[in-house]
């Protein structure tokens, strides 16, 4: 099933091979991997290197390692939350620049806001207005404030009625929130984000797609500039 691992980057090579086997469907949720002894022989590596790779796959949520009788390494059922966490882990290890984050967001979110301005219902507007009211009241509450920030962008993505767009935006926002929690962001940053959300909301309420696109783009660029200031450069991690 597997090829002998290359001498350099042994554990990473094992991770990549097992991950590809799971993604291709050759290993399915609930399937048990061969024993450590058999895998070590198949990959041509030591048990220590193999265990390191299995721990990495477990951290990514792709395997569950059970101890004792009937134990072993089993392929997990990857749900949406696990997939988001996997994307965050990928982002963390790739260590992209703030500029790369911004470029990706500006490719997607302004267009999503444009669609939302055309498709949003009164229920969507009521939800976003309530979100903004609660945001205004919780600017100093850290995690809860960021949760509302994420939900604001999630609702706009939902209006597009495209699950892939929702997943990408949710994953990016999840990564950004984790970064924000590590930084010492002041109230001015929270106020700036709140005002930007208000401008986007106002464009949606006016059913103005061009304005919605422009305000979302402006919001992302403003966040980019402030994040670079707090990170003292363009590096996130």
Q: Are residues 171 and 226 in the same domain?
A: yes
- Average pLDDT, stretch 94-116? 91
pLDDT at 232: 64
- The reply to whether 135 falls in a domain is yes
**Alpha-carbon torsion (6, 11, 12, 17), positive or negative:** positive
pLDDT > 70: what percent of the chain?
87
- The reply to whether 199 falls in a domain is yes
Q: Are residues 102 and 48 in the same domain?
A: no
**pLDDT: is 165 or 235 the higher one?**
165
Q: Are residues 91 and 180 in the same domain?
A: yes
pLDDT at 7: 39
Q: Are residues 87 and 54 in the same domain?
A: no
Q: Which CATH number covers residue 53? A: 1.10.10.10
pLDDT at 2: 65
- The reply to whether 2 falls in a domain is no
Q: Are residues 150 and 210 in the same domain?
A: yes
- The reply to whether 236 falls in a domain is no
pLDDT digits (tens, 9 = 90+) for 151-198: 999 999 999 999 889 888 988 887 777 777 767 677 888 899 999 999
Q: Which CATH number covers residue 183? A: 1.20.120.530
Lowest-pLDDT choice from 40-49, 61-70, 111-120: 61-70
Domain count, the chain: 2
- What pTM value is reported for the model? 0.66
pLDDT at 8: 45
Closest by CA position to 166, among listed 116, 236, 97, 226: 116
Q: Are residues 156 and 101 in the same domain?
A: yes
- Average pLDDT, stretch 10-17? 86
- Domain boundary (48, 75, 102) is at 75
pLDDT at 237: 56
Domain residue limits at 37 = 10-75
Q: What are the residue ranges of helices labelled H in 10-162?
A: 10-23, 36-43, 47-59, 80-94, 98-119, 122-137, 143-159
Q: Can you spell out the DSSP letters for 119-140?
A: H--HHHHHHHHHHHHHHHH-TT
Q: Are residues 88 and 186 in the same domain?
A: yes
Q: Are residues 70 and 124 in the same domain?
A: no
Q: Are residues 87 and 176 in the same domain?
A: yes
pLDDT at residue 14 above 60? yes
Q: Are residues 71 and 87 in the same domain?
A: no
pLDDT at residue 6 above 60? no
Q: Are residues 25 and 109 in the same domain?
A: no
> Which residue reads 């001498």 in tokens?
7
- The reply to whether 137 falls in a domain is yes
Q: Are residues 92 and 20 in the same domain?
A: no
């Amino acid at each position: 099933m597997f090829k002998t691992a290359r001498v350099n980057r042994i554990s990473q090579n094992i991770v990549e091979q097992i991950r590809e086997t799971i993604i291709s469907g050759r290993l399915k949720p609930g399937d048990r991997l061969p024993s450590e002894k058999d895998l070590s022989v198949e990959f041509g590596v030591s048990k220590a290197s193999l265990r390191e790779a299995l721990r990495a796959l477990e951290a990514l949520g792709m395997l569950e390692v059970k101890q004792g009788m009937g134990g072993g390494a089993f392929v997990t059922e990857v749900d949406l939350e696990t997939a988001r966490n996997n994307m965050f882990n990928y982002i963390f290890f790739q260590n992209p620049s703030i500029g790369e984050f911004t470029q990706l967001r500006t490719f997607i979110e302004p267009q999503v806001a444009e669609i939302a301005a055309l498709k949003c219902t009164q229920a969507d507007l009521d939800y976003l207005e309530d979100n903004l009211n609660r945001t205004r009241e919780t600017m100093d509450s850290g995690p809860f404030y960021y949760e509302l920030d994420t939900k604001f962008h999630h609702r706009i993505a939902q209006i597009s009625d495209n699950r892939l767009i929702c997943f990408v935006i949710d994953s990016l926002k999840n990564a950004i929130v984790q970064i924000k929690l590590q930084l010492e962001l002041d109230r001015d940053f929270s106020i700036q984000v709140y005002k930007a959300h208000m401008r986007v909301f106002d464009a949606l309420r006016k059913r103005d797609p061009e304005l919605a696109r422009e305000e979302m783009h402006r919001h992302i660029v403003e966040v980019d500039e402030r994040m670079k200031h707090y990170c003292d450069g363009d590096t996130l991690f």
